[in-house]
A and B are shown apart, each in its own frame.
Chain A
Amino acid sequence: MSSFITSIKENNSIIIIETNGYLNNTGGEAISEIVYEKIDQGHTKFLINMGNTKIVNSIGVSILIEIIEKLQSVDGKLGYYNLAPIVSKTFTIMGLTKYSTLFESEELAVNEI
């Protein structure tokens, strides 16, 4: 597992991925590798805990757009929680909030995704 991914767990059939550090191209690819593997296993709902990812770049976030596109083909969903304000703002500017959801907490995310 990449050092960018610190944990992968399952809660109520939802896969929760926790990240740590800079979401750049390698960070994005680490997330997509896990998501695509889990999609192949039949999972369709994914959450990313980004509490320890305070900085991103548009290449890493573009990989999340690829994941969203892939999830659309399996009627899946992607959400995020514990976002730093600049990460949330970046997601909003890039339009990710139209196709995936930002949550305040894991509890809300698991209940509402």
Chain B
Amino acid sequence: MKKPVVELKLPIIPNMELIATQTAEVISRHMNLTDDQNSEISMAIIEACINAFEHSKVENNVFIHFIIEEASLVIKVIDQGIGFDKTNVEIPKIENKIGTNERKRGWGLQLIQELMDSVEFESNEEGTTVTMKKNINK
């Protein structure tokens, strides 16, 4: 049977990521996810959207697909921007940021990885897809 999918198309406008969190909340409720799981999904979506808005240099839209599976919710955040090389992204440490000239930002990927059960990045010069999964029974 085909898996149910909810698709969103977000314009690059400040705070549009909150539309995705509202959609995630409805889907989480449908899937009987806990409040904590819903909050973690929302936070991960916010960070993935911000990365897409800011770093992809995309000027049109970011696409979000919510794929409802039997034992998990899979979320794909897709942009058609310039892509990035994950091996060039350092794991941030607050110790390196306080009292130094290092920029204080750059936490998005770390947060997504900590909050979701699995995360995959596919990126090339035609865009980036972040695939995040939250398992129901975890």
13 contacts between A and B (CB under 8 A): A24-B15, A54-B39, A55-B18, A61-B107, A62-B105, A65-B94, A65-B104, A68-B98, A84-B39, A86-B42, A93-B107, A93-B111, A94-B94
Whole-angstrom CA separation of A96 from B97 in the bound complex: 11
Q: Check if A33 is an interface residue, CB within 8 A of chain B.
A: no
Chain B residues near A63 (CB, 8 Å)? 104
Top 7 closest pairs, chain A to chain B, by CB: A95-B94, A86-B39, A58-B107, A62-B104, A65-B104, A62-B105, A93-B114
User: Is A86 a contact of B105 with CB atoms below 8 Å?
Assistant: no
* A95 to B111 CA separation, bound complex (whole angstroms): 11
Q: Which residues of A contact B (CB under 8 A)?
A: 22, 24, 54-59, 61-63, 65-66, 68-69, 72, 84-86, 89-90, 93-96, 98-99
**B69 within 8 Å of A (CB atoms):** no
> Beyond A62-B104, A86-B36, is A95–B95 a contact (Cβ under 8 Å)?
yes
B95 touches A94 (CB 8 A): no
B132 at the interface (CB under 8 A from A): no
Using an 8 Å CB-CB cutoff, how does the interface string of B80-115 with A read, 1 for contact, 0 for none?
000000000000111101110000110110110011
Q: B residues bordering A, Cβ < 8 Å?
A: 14-15, 17-18, 21, 36, 39-40, 42-43, 46-47, 50, 92-95, 97-99, 104-105, 107-108, 110-111, 114-115
Q: Which residue of A lies closest to B51 (CB)?
A: A58
Are A59 and B110 in contact, with the CB atoms below 8 A? no
In the docked arrangement, what's the CA distance between A98 and B99, Å?
A: 14
Within the complex, what minimum Cβ distance (angstroms) separates B15 from chain A? 7
Nearest-Cβ distance from residue A76 to partner chain B, whole angstroms: 13
* 8 Å CB contact of B40 from A24, A65, A86: A86
**Interface pair A57/B104, CB less than 8 Å apart:** no
B99 touches A72 (CB 8 A): yes
Residue of A nearest to B92 (CB): A94
B97 in contact with A59 (CB, 8 Å): no
Chain A residues with Cβ below 8 Å from B92 are 94
